[in-house]
């Protein structure tokens, strides 16, 4: 973060200094006292189980110069009414200063699926152009986004932000903190339907990122998703579209799926109006596993092209890009001949279908496909139906073995049974430990096994276990 005095922190947050007002923050902004270091600002958030105020002295003992708190403490602090909101206001002020001081560009990504992979791709495409800040993990909410903004300093040229929402107004809040110069909308899907209340409400909430663009900003919209491309009507400025349809400004053609589950295509970039034939073509061979990453790659390409990158450089960097975030189509080739696809970080009907299709492609006719599926959370009253449909899809894709984990995912087993699974082709188990026991007996050399569920189901532990059994995750996503 840029250096700020206690007085400046108080002015930005509407707080009151309980310390020497000239005390200066010169280090990072942290919400975990264990991460505090020399010059840090410790933000004392009060969580459900832990109150950061109880660890303020620990943070200062580790070198923090200042604490942002909601009550007076026996350490240098700025006292505010609401620490979480003050964190956002501080990030907003710092970004205003950075924009005024230099050529900082903000790129923000939202969508029901693909946000994290797309921000990872953006970071790899932009990093060669200048100092780039990218969120760690999935820092995409009212706490994670301000922390990412506050990692930027005077040297930062590109600030990549992931913006998540689980209800109306969430993206409006985040774009107030960090109005994007380029706003990317990937998809409108069934994620968090239980919290939004319906697919049209999801679309309205995602459109908030377009309305929140900075003056002169550009909306980058998925032309293959009708609800997304319709957001152009509310865009305050320019719109660039991406997709596979001929009218997209940035599109893929000659799409090919390899037996390893990766995608190759020719990137076409329109240079003029839709009636002009002035286009640039560049070949791309993604290393990422899963056909659905085509959307993420096109989105990253469209955003970075808008920021001035050359199409050939974009294509070359997309080809070189690696999978960076764990539990997202992370492929491990085990020495015993078993391939593990760990996509257990999150799940909704759209991403579940994409992962199952990738499993079927990678296994082909020669290898046995095994799907270990857990619950898709936050789907609301349609949850049972959504799980049932996934079970039926498993059968239609001819997945050879299905292991369903946990009561919340029981509809997957029911759907598979109703669609035509018989005998032991579909097995239901109560928890991760039971699933591990089944797989210990069931898996054999040559199998391709997918582990997929929402993070809250805990199935990621099984993904780690399977990947660690005598093997190592392969850099870039594959051997």
State percent of the chain over pLDDT 70: 95
Q: Are strands 16-18 and 77-79 parallel, antiparallel or unpaired?
A: antiparallel
User: Residues near 150 by Cβ (< 8 Å), separated by ≥ 6?
Assistant: 1, 28, 29, 90, 91, 94
Which of the following CATH numbers is that of domain 102-320: 3.10.580.10, 3.40.1190.10, 3.40.50.300, 3.90.1150.10?
3.40.1190.10
Yes or no: is domain 330-477 CATH 3.90.190.20?
Answer: yes
The mean pLDDT value of the chain amounts to: 93
DSSP 474: P
Stretch (H or E) spanning 240: strand 238-243
Mean pLDDT computed over 403-422: 93
Three-class SS state of 275: coil
Contact (CB, 8 A) for 436 and 462: yes
pLDDT for 138: 78
CA distances from 315 to 283, 290, 334 (A): 6, 18, 31
Cβ neighbours for 47, distance < 8 A, ≥ 6 positions apart: none
Q: Which residue shows structure tokens 């026996």?
A: 74
Domain 4-80, CATH homologous superfamily name and number = MurE/MurF, N-terminal domain (3.40.1390.10)
Task: Give the residue with greater pLDDT, 102 vs 415.
Answer: 415
Whole-model pTM: value is 0.89
Percent helix / strand / coil, the chain, rounded to 5: 40, 20, 40
The answer to whether 344 touches 462, Cβ cutoff 8 Å, is yes
Q: Where are the domains of the chain?
A: 4-80, 102-320, 330-477
Q: Specify the 3-state DSSP secondary structure of 396.
A: helix
Q: State the pLDDT at residue 477.
A: 45
Is the model's pLDDT at 353 over the cut of 50?
Answer: yes
The predicted pLDDT at position 195 comes to 62
Q: Which residues contact 372 (CB under 8 A, 6 or more apart)?
A: 403, 405, 435, 439, 449, 450, 451, 452, 459, 462
Give per-residue pLDDT as tens, 153-187.
Answer: 999 999 999 999 888 999 999 999 999 999 999 99
Instruction: Provide the percentage of residues in the chain whose pLDDT is more than 90.
Output: 84
User: Which tens digit of pLDDT belongs to each residue from 74-120?
Assistant: 999 999 999 999 999 999 999 999 999 989 999 999 998 899 999 99
Kindly give the pairing relationship between strand 238-243 and strand 4-5.
unpaired
- Going by C-alpha positions, the residue among 295, 328, 359, 322 that lies closest to residue 475 is 322
């Amino acid at each position: 973060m840029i250096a700020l005095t206690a007085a400046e922190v108080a002015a930005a947050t509407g707080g009151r200094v309980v310390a020497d007002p000239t005390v200066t923050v010169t280090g990072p902004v942290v919400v975990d006292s264990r991460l505090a270091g020399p010059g840090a600002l410790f933000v004392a958030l009060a969580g459900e189980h832990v109150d950061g105020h109880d660890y303020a002295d620990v943070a200062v003992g580790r070198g923090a110069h200042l604490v942002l708190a909601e009550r007076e403490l026996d350490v240098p602090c700025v006292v505010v009414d609401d620490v979480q909101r003050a964190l956002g206001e501080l990030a907003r002020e710092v970004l205003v200063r950075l924009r005024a001081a230099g050529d900082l560009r903000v790129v923000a990504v939202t969508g029901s699926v693909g946000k994290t992979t797309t921000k990872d791709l953006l970071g790899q495409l932009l990093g060669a152009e200048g100092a780039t800040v990218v969120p760690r993990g999935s820092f995409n909410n009212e706490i994670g986004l301000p922390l990412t903004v506050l990692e930027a300093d005077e040297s930062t040229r590109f600030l990549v932000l992931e913006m998540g929402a689980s209800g109306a107004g969430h993206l409006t809040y985040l774009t107030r903190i960090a109005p994007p110069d380029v706003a990317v909308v990937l998809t409108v899907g069934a994620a968090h339907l239980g919290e939004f209340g319906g697919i049209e409400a999801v679309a309205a909430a995602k459109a908030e990122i377009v309305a929140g663009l900075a003056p002169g900003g550009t909306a980058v919209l998925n032309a293959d998703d009708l609800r997304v491309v319709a957001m152009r009507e509310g865009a305050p400025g320019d719109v660039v579209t991406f997709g596979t349809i001929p009218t997209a400004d940035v599109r893929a053609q000659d799409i090919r799926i390899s037996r390893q589950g990766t995608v190759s295509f020719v990137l076409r970039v329109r240079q003029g109006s839709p009636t002009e034939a002035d286009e640039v073509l560049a070949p791309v061979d993604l290393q990422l596993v899963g056909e659905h990453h085509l959307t993420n790659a096109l989105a990253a390409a469209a955003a970075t092209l808008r920021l001035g990158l050359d199409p050939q450089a974009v294509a070359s960097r997309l080809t070189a890009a690696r999978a960076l975030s764990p539990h997202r189509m992370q492929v491990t080739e085990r020495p015993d001949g078993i391939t593990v696809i760990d996509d257990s970080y999150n799940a909704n009907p759209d991403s579940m279908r994409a992962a199952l299709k990738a499993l079927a492609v990678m296994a082909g006719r020669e290898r046995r496909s095994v799907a270990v599926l857990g619950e898709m959370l936050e789907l609301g009253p349609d949850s049972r139906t959504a799980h049932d449909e996934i079970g039926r899809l498993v059968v239609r894709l001819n997945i050879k073995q299905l292991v369903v984990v946990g009561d919340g995912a029981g509809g997957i087993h029911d759907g598979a049974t109703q669609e035509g699974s018989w005998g032991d082709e579909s097995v239901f188990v109560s928890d991760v430990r039971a699933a591990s026991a089944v797989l210990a007996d069931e898996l054999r050399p040559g199998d391709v096994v997918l582990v997929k569920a929402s993070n809250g189901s805990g199935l990621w532990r099984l993904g780690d276990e399977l990947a660690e059994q005598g093997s190592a995750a392969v850099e870039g996503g594959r051997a």
